[in-house]
Amino acid sequence: MPMLATFANTFKIPELRKRILLTVGLVFISRLISMIPTPGVNLRALQEGLKTMGANSGGLLDWFNVFSGGALNQCAVGFLSIWPYISASIIIQLLTAVFPQLERLAREGESGRMKLAQYTRYLTIAICVVQSFSLSTMLQNPAALHIGQQIVVHPGLGFSLMTVICMTTASLFVMWLADQITQRGIGNGTSLIIMINITSRLPVAIIEAWTRYFGLADVPATRSPVELALLLFFGFLITMGTVMLTQGVRKVPIHSTRRAVGGGSYGGMQQTYMPLRVNYTGVMPIIFAGPLIQFPAYALSRIPEELTWLSWLRWLGFELKDMTTPIHLAVYALLVMFFAFFWVATQFNAMQISDNLKRDGSYVPGIRPGRATAEYLDALMTRVTLIGGLGLLVIALVPQLLRGMMSLPWEMASFFGGTSLLIIVGVALDTLRQMESHLLMRNYDGFLKHGRLRGRH
């Protein structure tokens, strides 16, 4: 098969083979870190407590377990994984759009980016310390989590310090592994580690599907295999839609009156286009919207029943916590759309793009350079974001609808949409794009014979 032959060609190129093997080895190390239990934790008591908490968390613990690659069940030292670094990166990006000092650093080229990367790492350490200390405090207080037995063998300050040191060190080590993959491996290291954490739960989903539709020796099947066939066909369609959403762009024609030749710039009309991504926000709206519902929902649902005058807030908490209720779905949809436009508003600088076009002697046909071009790009990006946000919303709601309508376990439903599918598709396409560039440079065929991956030249 041509696809298999193309994958075989990747190992015929020494440099690409070295990069792939290095990436596989570093990813294996990152997965190993997520399986090492934190010292001093009674794993049996923890897993029994997680079952009790999972029934009352509204899917929040399932969400954590999927994105940590099962590290939550082990209370592994790598439970935080790469997420503190991602959180710090998002915070720095948002602050760059707010504070002029950070924006100037972003425009200073390589030196400014290195300075921002240094700030991101400092913030990552702070987030690791706060999150690991909060987790150690929760583990030492099982009564607050409605768990009947002690999870920590020897609670106290010593356990808290050990947990903070272990989890912070593990998270920083995973961050270093991600940097090594990006520099010396293939693909984006941070994205690859997240994708591997998600796909590591695939065997669990397969076992649950087999038990549900075919049964085991002592467990009868509860659903017809016909439902599984329909579900797989539906999953294929959702995956196709996700690929289209990820690859989709709106091409803005650009005319240039200057042409760069060698070290100089010469006159001459040149026509190109500016691609505006339909899904400009990526998975950020879903990442923001999910926890923003679940954390206040969990807090509201813990209001004591004795406070009758707050009973409506307690009811609202339970409604928001359940992913299948109309209130939860409506609020979730509003938050996804809000954050889609919010992320574009903070990251897409139409005026800066317009100034760059004007400085380079380029313009949009029929639009005056300067402010008129900025207003045109801003209005166009708003329409593109509306289309992309609606597509993102459909993909985001699919797992929750499947869970509510078909009672699918979250381990299965999460692979039919939402953040999991978007990350898997996006990272897979980006990695294939990099591998294909290495193949084409050495006159090998790419992965697509009659089509092109986005960005292939």
pTM of the model: 0.80
For strands 362-363 and 264-277, give the pairing. unpaired
Per-residue pLDDT tens over the stretch 321-345: 877 788 888 998 999 999 899 888 8
Classified as helix, coil or strand, 218 is: coil
Greatest pairwise CA separation for the chain in angstroms = 79
- Predicted confidence band of residue 43 (pLDDT cuts 50, 70, 90): confident
Q: What is the pLDDT of residue 97?
A: 75
How many CA atoms lie within 13 Å of 456's alpha carbon, on the beta-carbon side?
A: 24
Classified as helix, coil or strand, 291 is: helix
H/E stretch holding 259? strand 249-261
Q: Determine contact, residues 76/35, Cβ cutoff 8 Å.
A: yes
Amino acid at residue number 428: A
Per-residue pLDDT tens over the stretch 66-122: 777 778 778 889 888 888 998 888 888 888 877 888 888 877 777 888 888 899 999
Mean local confidence (pLDDT), 132-137? 90
How many CA atoms lie within 13 Å of 318's alpha carbon, on the beta-carbon side?
A: 10
Q: What is the pLDDT of residue 446?
A: 57
- Predicted confidence band of residue 237 (pLDDT cuts 50, 70, 90): very high
Distance, in Å, from the CA atom of 333 to the CA atom of 400, rounded to the nearest integer, reads 11
Closest CA to 259 of 251, 269, 250, 249: 269
Mean local confidence (pLDDT), 271-275? 87
CATH 1.10.3370.10 residue ranges of the chain are 1-200, 226-416
- Predicted confidence band of residue 457 (pLDDT cuts 50, 70, 90): very low
Distance, in Å, from the CA atom of 97 to the CA atom of 107, rounded to the nearest integer, reads 12
Supply the mean pLDDT for the chain: 83
For strands 249-261 and 264-277, give the pairing. antiparallel
Fold of 1-200: Preprotein translocase SecY subunit (1.10.3370)
Q: 284-301 vs 60-67: helix axis angle to the nearest 10? A: 140
| pLDDT of 11 higher than 80 | no
Distance, in Å, from the CA atom of 256 to the CA atom of 263, rounded to the nearest integer, reads 17
Mean local confidence (pLDDT), 371-379? 91
Per-residue pLDDT tens over the stretch 190-217: 889 988 888 888 888 898 889 889 888 7
Per-residue pLDDT tens over the stretch 154-165: 888 999 999 999
- CATH 1.10.3370.10: does it fit domain 226-416? yes
Q: Sheet harboring 362-363: ordered strands across?
A: 264-277, 249-261, 362-363
239 φ, ψ (degrees, to nearest 5)? -65, -40
